């Protein structure tokens, strides 16, 4: 974040953290309704920024929770929201009831799902986050050999630290169904896991995609079903930075009623 951007950005008091060393830290919080970015030229270099204060460098280094700024620790945060390039890009433009009724016409297409459905590139996508090293995504395979209705799917993902220092990576898996239904999301977050590795070393992460991620609610049957697919699992660093993919199809050819998932 550039220093010049700070006066043009509104932050809630709850996201400003002071310290005894005179520095003022600004941290993005996870609830989008509590903060707003009003500058068309804002720029994030990470999820934490620090400004002002005397002895800032040493103060930041010693402050609890601020060691990521100095490089003493690897940032672990990933965006739980999508930050748009422009306010007009947001999938939900109106949230004011009319005559006491609020129409949720967007259906399932909110947040990053709405951006995907409209093909709009956000400024920062859901799941985005930076670190002090780089990663290659080398391999993905299904441990369970294909998913079955009502059963979780286990994946094994191999990543490699290609940077010059130890690092920590959040490996994210997104599940995409068969295209054609405009009311369904293009893909959804299905699982994530943490990889740590020294420079040049690989790391293996096992991700478990819960059975519920494959299910859909059928209004006519008044129950959950597992469509036959096919499904595709995409793995990467965010919902827009996807490095690997693996098809997954259950052996049954017709949708199965998920009776055990009904309340």
Which residues make beta-bridge pairs with 176? 232
- Measured in whole angstroms, how far is the alpha carbon of residue 12 from the centre of its chain? 23
What is the pLDDT at residue 146?
59
In the numeric block, the tokens 């967007």 are attached to: 106
What are 82-94's pLDDT values in tens digits? 999 998 898 888 7
Please state, in angstroms and rounded to a whole number, the distance separating the CA atoms of residues 174 and 239. Answer: 7
How far separated are the first and last CA of the chain, in Å rounded?
46
pTM of the model as a whole: 0.73
Q: Answer whether residue 119 shows pLDDT above 80.
A: yes
Q: Which domains does the chain have, with CATH numbers?
A: 3-70 (no CATH), 135-261 (2.60.40.10)
What confidence tier does 122 reach under pLDDT thresholds 50, 70, 90? very high
What are 39-77's pLDDT values in tens digits? 444 444 444 433 334 444 444 444 444 456 667 777 778
What is the pLDDT at residue 70?
65
What is the pLDDT at residue 188?
94
Which has the closest alpha carbon to 156: 230, 232, 233, 226? 233
Q: Is the peptide bond before 41 cis (omega within 30 degrees of 0)?
A: no
Which has the closest alpha carbon to 49: 2, 86, 85, 91? 2
Q: pLDDT: is 143 or 190 the higher one? A: 190
In the numeric block, the tokens 């490095």 are attached to: 243
What is 204-246 written as a DSSP string?
EEEEEE-GGGG-EEETTTTEEEE----EEEEEESSSS-EEEEE
């Amino acid at each position: 974040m550039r220093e010049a951007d700070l006066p043009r950005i509104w932050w809630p008091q709850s996201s400003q953290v002071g310290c005894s060393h005179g520095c003022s830290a600004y941290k993005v919080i996870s609830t989008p309704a509590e903060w707003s970015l009003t500058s068309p030229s804002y720029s994030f270099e990470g999820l934490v920024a620090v400004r002002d204060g005397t002895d800032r460098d040493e103060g930041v280094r010693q402050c609890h929770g601020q060691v990521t700024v100095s490089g003493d620790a690897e940032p672990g945060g990933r965006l739980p929201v999508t930050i748009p390039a422009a306010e007009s890009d947001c999938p939900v433009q109106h949230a004011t009831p009319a005559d006491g009724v609020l129409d949720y016409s967007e259906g399932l297409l909110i947040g990053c799902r709405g951006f995907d459905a409209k093909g709009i590139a956000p400024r920062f996508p859901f799941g985005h986050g930076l670190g002090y090293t780089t990663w290659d995504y080398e391999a993905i395979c299904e441990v369970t050999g294909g998913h079955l209705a009502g059963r979780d799917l286990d994946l094994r993902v191999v990543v490699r630290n290609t940077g010059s220092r130890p690092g920590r990576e959040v490996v994210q898996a997104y599940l995409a169904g068969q295209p054609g239904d405009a009311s369904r999301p293009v893909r959804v977050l299905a699982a994530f896991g943490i990889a740590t590795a020294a420079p040049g070393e690989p790391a293996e992460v096992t991700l478990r995609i819960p059975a519920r991620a494959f299910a859909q609610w059928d209004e006519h049957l008044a129950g959950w079903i597992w469509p036959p697919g096919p499904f595709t699992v995409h793995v990467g660093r965010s919902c827009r930075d996807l490095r690997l993919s693996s098809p997954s199809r259950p052996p049954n050819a017709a949708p199965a009623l998920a009776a055990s998932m009904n309340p």
